[in-house]
Structure 1
């Protein structure tokens, strides 16, 4: 087991859920301070949603520079400020891993191996809920042991990314299996809660015990995915701060690339499973009146679905006010196909009226033609299922819904703002202050402290954004973000983003150039533990 006395910091005793939320809140507060906005420390109370997320854990996280050994050493008098900042970034990776391991231990002792819970579940249900969590724990224990040993070697931390890279290559594959299983995990957890009254009662008792600090059982189950994604960001933060073209930069790039690969495999695995299930479910509801279109394909996934109103008849002011002008149709938009359908009277089936390849779609916004057409756009099928060009005049419930349909139907259409790929020096940016889980395929799940470029903004409360650290795009409510007002902060965010992109591209270019030659030597690292 990991010794809690190996590093003199209270963060060893903080559950990871608390640590993670507090760390993200501190990132937000630091940005607010630079923006000249009131912060939590200035006597202004945080928003209720934030208070709920932080679960009253507003204490400051321990800093490397506050360790007694560091203060006694006199290092703080000799180190440059940027070197101290780098030490803090590496130290945060270590302390957060310790906190994460503590939460895993609680998941094991309080839930996984609790006889009260185990005796109410079948062996298959135990596997559905906990999957390979014991392998995850073993990987974390090894990783933390090596990180602790590095800190014990010297109070001035030499590097941690070499350790991250070693473990990511050799031991972090277990994360992929666990995360991919999460779709089944969530589904079966809901099923067990519904079917097993004894389990439902026992899990409620366990969740309400003081040691879990009011956290839910599911908040422990999702820890591995949260950790592997957060670990990538922590390494990314170190990469921003190391000296360019140094050995530390090389190890940080290698660690970041390996973590990015793992996170990508996790995301793709989850998406593949959910997309296949979704396609099967949709195909069962479709009825083709003429030419049948195969829906299920390994290269197809749903982008957006929903009801819109098709307008027909003469376009006079009088008829446009008449409800007879409109009749509902239901759109299924996939990454390479559009199906235009009509919902059956039972609401369970959809009759396919028309179809078209997504690449053959064009849209026209009619917003500038008067208030009456504010929520109306024209959808043109250049070549429909009958090889004809047809147009549909469609009306949505809101302006934001219209823009979301237009953007998803024809993604190459210019947005109001420019993306990070244009490298504009002062693009509009926001920071997430409240986590949001996507409700529709075209939405983006955002976490506290995420920084995003604004690509589109509607008057009724929605934004289309591109997250800086991974380039993912999607819509989210304006209420969960704050605009970054400081041009200096925006410029710094963009500069750091571009540096990471350039470092990654440079490393990839070097690998491509060395193909056919002896591969570059990876950083050598010897673990401090041995398997028994």
Structure 2
């Protein structure tokens, strides 16, 4: 199996050994940590210089566990999640990671733990009240986890962050990715959302029938 890099970037490691209280506030010292997420493994490293990194721990994709702590640590700036790297059933390393933005945290979590897009679409089809957005101007993806949009695309909005990013699933083909909220508008009409879902199901049924006939 070939290995390819899906996502990389810098987050902050929260140093729990150096936590302190100043007045009524909890101070959380941090230090940079670099993540390289491949299709089969995750590497955590420290940057040595502009182009060199020293890896201090790694784990297979299927041996990662995560817990979002942002709601439990209210009042603390930044968005924090707890990442565990295992080897089999044994815990190899655990780390608290902090992002300055909600989208940064969410994009890392979804990159490490992607859901099945077909299951997401099926759930959207079964639940008529799921959020939908429509593209109002085309967008060209800038990162691997982003989705290129064409004007008039209809998408199921799976996640909308406080800093203006959306994780969406295009109804027409099931492609999933992130894009800026400014490129879409919410479909507020329930009847319009129902119509979009029914039309999507109708097109898929026709497509499947044509494949069977061939």
* Normalised TM-score (structure 2): 0.86
Change (3 A) 1:477 1:390: same
TM-fit CA distance, 1:373: 6.1
Consecutive unaligned residues in structure 1, runs of 5 or more = 1-296, 512-519, 521-532
2:44 and 2:185 mapped to 1: Cα distance? 37
1:331 equivalent in structure 2: 35
The match for 1:383 among 87, 97, 105 is 87
Consecutive unaligned residues in structure 2, runs of 5 or more = none
- Number of residue pairs the alignment of both structures matches: 205
1:321 equivalent in structure 2: 27
2:21 and 2:144 mapped to 1: Cα distance? 35
TM-fit CA distance, 1:320: 5.2
TM-fit CA distance, 1:302: 2.3
TM-fit CA distance, 1:494: 0.6
2:174 equivalent in structure 1: 471
The match for 2:62 among 353, 356, 359 is 359
1:419 equivalent in structure 2: 120
1:486 equivalent in structure 2: 189
Q: Would you say the 8 A contact 1:362–1:380 is kept in 2?
A: yes
* Normalised TM-score (structure 1): 0.36
2:205 equivalent in structure 1: 502
Q: Would you say the 8 A contact 1:341–1:352 is kept in 2?
A: yes
1:443 and 1:376 mapped to 2: Cα distance? 22
2:6 equivalent in structure 1: 303
Change (3 A) 1:362 1:388: closer
Q: Would you say the 8 A contact 1:366–1:373 is kept in 2?
A: no
TM-fit CA distance, 1:392: 0.8
1:460 and 1:452 mapped to 2: Cα distance? 19
1:94-493 matches, within 5 Å, as: 298=2, 300-312=3-15, 313-318=17-22, 321=27, 325-345=29-49, 347-369=50-72, 370-372=74-76, 374-383=78-87, 388-412=91-115, 419-422=120-123, 423=125, 424-493=127-196
CA deviation profile, 1:236-278 (whole Å, cap 9, x unmatched): xxxxxxxxxxxxxxxxxxxxxxxxxxxxxxxxxxxxxxxxxxx
2:197 and 2:172 mapped to 1: Cα distance? 10
1:308 and 1:441 mapped to 2: Cα distance? 18
RMSD: 2.3
2:87 and 2:197 mapped to 1: Cα distance? 41
TM-fit CA distance, 1:388: 4.5
2:77 and 2:92 mapped to 1: Cα distance? 23
Q: Would you say the 8 A contact 2:11–2:99 is kept in 1?
A: yes
2:113 and 2:170 mapped to 1: Cα distance? 20
TM-fit CA distance, 1:329: 1.0
TM-fit CA distance, 1:483: 0.6
1:506 and 1:334 mapped to 2: Cα distance? 38
Q: Would you say the 8 A contact 2:84–2:91 is kept in 1?
A: no
> In terms of Rg, which structure is larger?
1
1:505 and 1:359 mapped to 2: Cα distance? 33
- List, as ranges, runs of 4+ consecutive aligned residues in structure 1 with deviation greater than 4 Å: none
CA deviation profile, 1:373-392 (whole Å, cap 9, x unmatched): 651100111228xx743211
CA deviation profile, 1:206-257 (whole Å, cap 9, x unmatched): xxxxxxxxxxxxxxxxxxxxxxxxxxxxxxxxxxxxxxxxxxxxxxxxxxxx
TM-fit CA distance, 1:473: 0.5
1:352 and 1:389 mapped to 2: Cα distance? 14
Q: Would you say the 8 A contact 2:19–2:27 is kept in 1?
A: no
